[in-house]
Amino acid sequence: MPLSFLKKKEPVAERALALSEQVVPAVPTAVSRDAIELAERLQRDTAGLGLEAAQLRGMLEDTTAVATRQQDSLAALVKHLQDIRAAQDLIHEVTAGSQSSVGQAREAVESVGQEVAGVVDTLRDVAKAAQQITQIALQTRLVAFNASVEAKRAGEAGRGFSVVADAVKDLSTQVESTSKAIMGTVADLDKRIQSLARDIRWDQDAQPGAQGRFQSALSAVELGVARIGDAATQSMRVSGGIHEQAAAMAGELSKTRNALGQAMRRSEVVLGVSETLMEAIASCGVQTADTPYIELAQQAATQIAQVLERAVDAGQISLADLFDERYQPIAGTNPPQVMARFNSVTDRGFPAIQEQALTALPNVVFCIGADRNGYIATHNRQYCQPQRQGDVVWNTAHSRWRRIFNDRTGLASARNQRPFLLQTYRRDMGGGNFVMLKEASAPIMVKGRHWGGLRLAYRF
């Protein structure tokens, strides 16, 4: 078949084209034995190159995924550190306010202490007044006693005066008793207030620990707040250093990801060259190990196209619905699955063709029809298992239908419109398990329109 479709490739691919064209004999006669041997050797070498390139690309994908997770983790760490820093700033602000509040409390207590001192002075004045009242009452009682004696001497004439003198004596006794009680109460209040004054008074000359209880408590609070502030300041310095280191690590990881991206793109070039060489060798008319798989893929693609065209002709589905791309998500699926309007047609017509291809040649892993977006409506039966809720590893390996595989390999096979396409890749089976596969694909054409591709994967 002509190799003009390779003319648009990169210079490396053009050299591969030139090399492959050397394999094609210059005259339309039987292919020479040497050319066949050369093609077979090139096929083996390019298959090995494709295998190494696919493995390299897979390792780069794994490393990139690890770097991405590390970068995400570092970003989360930096965010947490920023939150910690904000909390530390708040602690520092609160402790500063608390220290100010303690100072204000001390000033308020000092003011109370001064008022208490005034109360003490007032109480002492009351005590002195009560003492004077007691003295006056004592003197009044003595005068009343003398008057009572003189009234008795006067006999009947002094009887009325004697009654008054006795009453005055009794009243002075009560006044004296009340005054002494007031003096006792004032003395007790004086002791208590003096004790309160000692507790709340701040003594500038007192040794540490010799202050009053209230002032000692305020000092303890002030010291604790100061220690919290110092700890917060120290923590801010430490977290600031960690933040700088984490930011530096994030920068290095970003550089690593960029470098891995470049390596990934270069590995794609190498992989593309190996695939181009494999296609060129397979196209030169020499039978290679890939030829039977290419022919099987093309045959299955033709049969799938016929199934779809018959469905359209029979009125089972319209062309619009067959080419519909409005996929409807299936709720609760992981990995996500979707439905399309042509599912019933593929479920009826694809299995017989796809299952037969599985046993047509050795080492075939799967044979599936995909639309041009990589959507697998109907997979091989062993991969059409219902999903298990919450078991993403099992689902990834056993429930591969109703899914869109828009990775590099999947889209290339689905959108290829050349007679065939050969690719080498690493297939994710879930749970960190991968298998190396080679894939031959052929376009599926329905009523002159490109519907998708037939994907035939096999071990090599």
CATH of the domain at 201: 1.10.287.950
The reply to whether 257 falls in a domain is: no
My answer on whether 360 and 422 are in the same domain is: yes
My answer on whether 44 and 168 are in the same domain is: no
- pLDDT value of residue 358: 97
The reply to whether 70 falls in a domain is: no
| SS3 (DSSP) at 154 | coil
**CB neighbour class for 386 (10 Å; exposed up to 12, middle 13-18, buried from 19):** exposed
Output 279 or 454, whichever has higher pLDDT: 454
My answer on whether 204 and 130 are in the same domain is: yes
Dihedral angle over CA of 373, 278, 10, 371, nearest 10: -10
The reply to whether 131 falls in a domain is: yes
Query: What are φ and ψ of residue 373, in 5° steps?
Result: -100, 5
| SS3 (DSSP) at 355 | helix
Cα distance between residue 363 and residue 366, in whole Å: 9
- pLDDT value of residue 324: 95
How do the residues of the chain divide into helix, strand and coil, expressed in percent and rounded to 5?
Answer: 70, 10, 20
The reply to whether 72 falls in a domain is: no
Residue 121 C-alpha from the chain's centroid? 68
Answer for the pair 374, 348: CB distance below 8 angstroms, yes or no: no
My answer on whether 222 and 304 are in the same domain is: no
Nearest Cα residue to 289 out of 97, 79, 51: 51
My answer on whether 221 and 292 are in the same domain is: no
Buried b (16+ CB within 10 A) or exposed e, 328-355: eeeeebeeebbebbbbebbeebbeebbe
Residue the block writes with tokens 């923590």: 235
My answer on whether 325 and 183 are in the same domain is: no
Say what the pTM is.
0.54
Output 166 or 185, whichever has higher pLDDT: 185
Q: Quick one: pLDDT band at residue 26, thresholds 50, 70, 90?
A: very low
Answer for the pair 357, 456: CB distance below 8 angstroms, yes or no: yes
Share of the chain above pLDDT 90, in %: 32
My answer on whether 33 and 167 are in the same domain is: no
Q: Quick one: pLDDT band at residue 238, thresholds 50, 70, 90?
A: confident
Q: Which of 24-33, 100-109, 204-213 has the lowest mean pLDDT?
A: 24-33
The reply to whether 43 falls in a domain is: yes
pLDDT tens-digit readout, 103-160 = 676 666 667 666 666 776 776 777 777 777 777 777 776 777 777 777 777 767 666 6
Pairing of strands 403-404, 375-376: antiparallel
The tally of domains found in the chain comes to: 2
My answer on whether 307 and 424 are in the same domain is: yes
Q: Quick one: pLDDT band at residue 385, thresholds 50, 70, 90?
A: very high
Cα distance between residue 385 and residue 383, in whole Å: 6
The reply to whether 372 falls in a domain is: yes
| SS3 (DSSP) at 337 | coil
Give the residue ranges of DSSP H helices in 384-433.
392-398, 408-415
How is residue 121 written in tokens? 């002075």
Question: How far lies 434's CA from each of 59, 62, 260, 367, 397, in Å?
Answer: 11, 11, 20, 18, 10
* Three-class HEC string of 58-94: HHHHHHHHHHHHHHHHHHHHHHHHHHHHHHHHHHHHH
Query: What are φ and ψ of residue 94, in 5° steps?
Result: -65, -40
User: What kind and span of H or E run contains 440?
Assistant: strand 433-446
Average pLDDT over all residues of the chain: 77
Mean pLDDT of 248-273: 68
Cα distance between residue 453 and residue 443, in whole Å: 4
Cα distance between residue 124 and residue 126, in whole Å: 5
Domain residue limits at 92: 83-235
Output 184 or 47, whichever has higher pLDDT: 184
274 CB-side CA count, 13 A: 22
Output 312 or 216, whichever has higher pLDDT: 312
My answer on whether 22 and 99 are in the same domain is: no
Q: Is the pLDDT of residue 3 over 50?
A: no
The reply to whether 258 falls in a domain is: no
My answer on whether 51 and 14 are in the same domain is: yes
Cα distance between residue 341 and residue 325, in whole Å: 9
User: What kind and span of H or E run contains 327?
Assistant: none
Which bin fits 421, alpha (ψ -120 to 50), beta or left (φ > 0)?
beta
Q: Which of 42-46, 144-148, 151-155, 360-364 has the lowest mean pLDDT?
A: 42-46
My answer on whether 182 and 307 are in the same domain is: no
Mean pLDDT of 153-176: 70
How is residue 1 written in tokens? 């078949």
Q: Is the pLDDT of residue 25 over 60?
A: no
Answer for the pair 167, 199: CB distance below 8 angstroms, yes or no: no
My answer on whether 321 and 427 are in the same domain is: yes
DSSP string, 356-380: HHHTTSTTEEEEEEEETT-EESS--
Question: How far lies 89's CA from each of 134, 212, 235, in Å?
Answer: 66, 34, 10
